[in-house]
Structure 1
Amino acid sequence: MDQITITKAGAEDLKTVQQISKETFFETFAEANTEADMQKYLAENFSEIKLTEELSNPDSLFYIAWLGENPVGYMKLNTGEAQTELQDISSFEIERIYVKSAYHGKKVGQLLYEKALEIAQAEQKVYIWLGVWEENLKAIRFYEKNGFVAFDKHIFKFGEDEQTDIMMKKLV
């Protein structure tokens, strides 16, 4: 098997980020949500306009995981005002670690997480935090295994459905 490589993404990677976003979000959450809510979310949150804004935000960092020439996942980190909630300058938010389901269990998510930790340490952040859907037990176990602990909850509106995200953090 080829080596997984992680590269920093920019505006030129829009189509790759968009494709991974839509594919992985659908794979992970379609079964638990209505078709209408899913299509609306994908259209609004992973549109070219929205992702172009995110990719050009200096407070957000994107990294793509590649297996050879194939993109298999990506990560979005936020600092400062780009953070979805806490907006604490001493922290990084991991907003997304998205990995194609065919590559689950192949350490892609782990490599992306380790890149986030490396960046947080280099930038002397105090902690990393994230929100994860309470029903995404696989992701919760992954973060717990990596030392994250729950510290709060928040509501995530998905269409008309209110879902609870567990907020987790880890000291760097």
Structure 2
Amino acid sequence: MSPIIIRKATISDLESIQEISKQTFVETFADVNTPKNMENYVRENFNSEQVASEINNPESAFYLATLDKKTIGYLKLNFGKTQTEIFNNQAIEIHRIYVVKAFLGKKIGQLLLDEAVKTAHQSGVDYLWLGVWEENHRALQFYSKNGFVEFDKHIFTLGNDIQTDLLMRLEINKK
């Protein structure tokens, strides 16, 4: 297998990011949510205008995982005020790690998480944090294995379905 390349995304990657977003969100959550809730979420969150504004936001960063020039996953980080919840300005939020289902278990998520940790070290922040659906056992296991610990919860609304995300963090620069 060719090497997986991780690179920072630009606006020219808009369509790839949209495709991966829609595909992985549906692959991961369609079985446990209504088609209408899924359709509305994808339309509202992964349309061209929304994704372009996220890519162009100086307080967010996307990193693509590519194999043979095909995008197979991505990482989205939020800094400062772009974080979905501000717990600490000295933190970075991992907003998304999305990997195409065919590549799950092939260490792509680990490469993307390693990029997030590297960015956090370079930024000098205290910790990385993220929210993960309490029923996404695969993701919870992955983050726990990588040293993330639960520190809070928040509500995530998908259409008319109220869900609970566990908030997890990884300490970066110990005082």
If the length of structure 1 is used for normalisation, what is the TM-score? 0.99
Deviation at 1:89, TM superposition (A): 1.8
- Where does structure 2 lack aligned partners over 5 or more consecutive residues? none
**Secondary structure at 1:168 match in 2:** strand
Deviation at 1:88, TM superposition (A): 2.3
**Secondary structure at 1:155 match in 2:** strand
**Secondary structure at 1:122 match in 2:** helix
**Secondary structure at 1:144 match in 2:** helix
The number of residue pairs the alignment matches comes to 172
Contact 1:7–1:65 (CA<8 Å) still a contact in 2? yes
Tell me how far apart the structure 2 counterparts of residues 165 and 87 of structure 1 sit (CA, whole Å).
15
> Does the alignment pair 1:125 with 2:125?
yes
**Secondary structure at 1:27 match in 2:** helix
Tell me how far apart the structure 1 counterparts of residues 140 and 157 of structure 2 sit (CA, whole Å).
19
RMSD after superposition: 0.6
> Does the alignment pair 1:44 with 2:37?
no
Q: After TM superposition, which residue ranges in structure 1, 4 or more long, deviate above 3 angstroms?
A: none
Q: Where do residues 17-32 of structure 1 align in structure 2 (5 Å cutoff)? A: 17-32=17-32
Percent identical residues? 50
Question: Which residue does the alignment assign to 1:78?
Answer: 78
- Where does structure 1 lack aligned partners over 5 or more consecutive residues? none
Deviation at 1:87, TM superposition (A): 5.2
> Does the alignment pair 1:145 with 2:145?
yes
If the length of structure 2 is used for normalisation, what is the TM-score? 0.97
**Secondary structure at 2:58 match in 1:** coil
> Does the alignment pair 1:111 with 2:111?
yes
